[in-house]
Amino acid sequence: MQGQNIIRAILFVVFFSVGAASLGASVLCDDLVEYYRNRQLLKAAQEFLNRLKSLNTDYDILLEQLEKDPNLIKRIAPATLGTEQQDVNTVYPRATPEQLAIAKRVLAANPNQQFVELAMPGWLTRCSEPRQRILLFFSGGALILISFICFGPPKRTTKKEQ
């Protein structure tokens, strides 16, 4: 009799916990999807912030070099402004249109483009479909009812029935 009660208690815990987990997952599915989206957006914002910090560091180094060497402006101004070079004794390389097109694509690329696809788990993607959520909700409720009906405490017999 005692072994039967232990098996009954174990089955109750298993059925109830699986039912409660599926019921909870169906109810909290939208919140879990939002959590994963927010986490991915935070990661993209952190990457963008790191990129901005890197650019700030590069500009600080360039400003420091400009303060140390005033002739640097004369050397980088034609390349920056797109004007012709004045020094006749120096050979300046010309960029081909293909190289310029590749550079434009790299510079114009969206840094957050790599994070467009959300890194949600597969089970959450499947559970977020309305039909699957309803099915999960009812199956969880059915498992909880089964655990209470079939594996609940046995009926107590009164002295008259014995």
Give a yes or no: residue 89 inside a domain.
Answer: no
Question: Can you give the residue range of the structural domain that contains 7?
Answer: 2-83+96-151
Any domain includes 101: yes
> How many domains does the chain contain in total?
1
Instruction: Tell me, yes or no, whether 90 lies in a domain.
Output: no
Residue 155 tokens read as 């009926």
Q: Is residue 40 part of a domain?
A: yes
pLDDT number for residue 134: 94
15 falls within a domain: yes
pLDDT digits (tens, 9 = 90+) for 92-145: 667 778 888 888 887 776 655 554 455 788 888 888 899 999 999 999 999 999
- For residue 107, is it within any domain? yes
Residue 160 maps to a domain = no
Q: What is the pLDDT at residue 113?
A: 53
pLDDT at position 75, please? 74
